[in-house]
Amino acid sequence: MQIANVDMAAAWDVEAPGWIEYEDAYARSSLDLWSLFLTGVELNANDRVLDLGCGTGVKTRAMAQSLPQGSIVAIDLSPEMATHAQQGAARAGLTNIEFVAGDAQVYPFGEDVFDLAVSSFGSMFYMDPVAAFGNVRCALRPGGRLALLTWRALAENEWLIAFRNAMAVGRDLPVPPSDAPGPFGLADPGHVRRVLSEAGFSNIVLDPLDAELDFGADAAAAYAYVSAMGVTRGLTAELDDVSRLRALQSLRETLKAHETPNGVRMSSATWRITAERA
C-alpha cells in the first residue's frame, strides 16, 4: 500500500480502536450535521461515489442505501477501520460498497470513474492537498462533483473551545493552523479556493453549516465518549498525573453544564464545500 501521508497513517493506526469502540457515539454526535450537509449534495440513485476518509463506514452504509443502482468505493488510511467497515456492510447485507485501505493522495482509482467524491471530516489531513485533490479530480468523470464536510475556524466551534478551556489547566494552548494538515486544514476559504482551483476544480462554493453536536444522553455518557476522543488524549498527554486528573474533572463539569433534556449538546461550525471537475 503506497502511503504519502506517513505521519497521518501512523496517527490513525493509534486512533482506530477508539473510533471502532465508540462508532455509534461518533455517528450520533454528528447526525444532525450530516443530515444538514446532505441537503446540499445531489445524490442520484445510480451514482458511482468515492468516499474519502470513510472511517468505520457508518455514513458510507447510509449513503449506499440511497444508491439502489449505484455503488461506492470507500477509502481510509486505517486498514483496521476499513476492515471493520467492510464487515459492517456485510452484516447489513450491502453489496454495493467496496472498502479499501489506502491513501487518497496517491491511490490508483483510475480515470473518469466516479460521479461524486464525498468526505465527512476526512479531507483536511493531506500533506499535499493540491496533489490529493488532483488525484481525486482525475478519478471523477468530466463534470463530476466534489462535496466535503470540514470544520470552520476553531473560534467558531463552541464544542472544541469548551473542551480546550476545560483541559487547559493554566496552559496557553496554541491555535491549530488553518492552512496545514489537521482538523482545520480546510477552514480558511481563501486557502480552500486556491487548493481546489490548482487541483483542477471549478464552481467552488463554501456554505456555512451550523448544527449542534450530541455527545450523549447525559453527562456520564458524554464523559465516557469524550474522554476517549483523540482530542482529549492530545490535550492531556503532556500533563502530569495530578494535572491530568484536574483536567478531566474540569471536562466532567463542562459536560454537566451543557446537559439539556435532549442530551449533552454544543454548537459546531462547519463548511459544506462543493465543486466540479473543471
Distance CA 48, CA 67 (A): 9
pLDDT at 133: 98
User: Per-domain residue ranges for the chain?
Assistant: 6-153+174-214+268-277
Please write the tens of the pLDDT for every residue from 38-51: 999 999 999 999 99
The three grid cell numbers given for residue 203, joined into one nine-digit string: 464552481
* 62: amino acid identity, one letter: A
As to burial, measured by CB atoms within 10 angstroms (0-12 exposed, 13-18 middle, 19+ buried), residue 257 is exposed
Distances (CA, A) of 160 to 4, 38, 231, 269: 29, 23, 9, 10
Distance CA 121, CA 150 (A): 5
Give CA angle at 183 (177, 187), nearest 5°.
Answer: 65
The three grid cell numbers given for residue 250, joined into one nine-digit string: 474540569
| CB within 8 Å of 203: residues ≥ 6 apart | 274, 275, 276
Return averaged pLDDT per consecutive 10 residues of the chain, 278 residues in all.
86 90 94 95 96 96 95 97 96 96 96 98 95 98 97 97 97 88 95 98 98 97 96 95 97 98 97 96
Which fold would CATH assign to domain 6-153+174-214+268-277?
Rossmann fold (3.40.50)
Angle between helices 129-139 and 189-198 (to 10 degrees): 50
pLDDT at 153: 96
Please write the tens of the pLDDT for every residue from 96-126: 999 999 999 999 999 999 999 999 999 999 9
pLDDT at 178: 83
Give Cα 65 to chain centroid, integer Å: 20
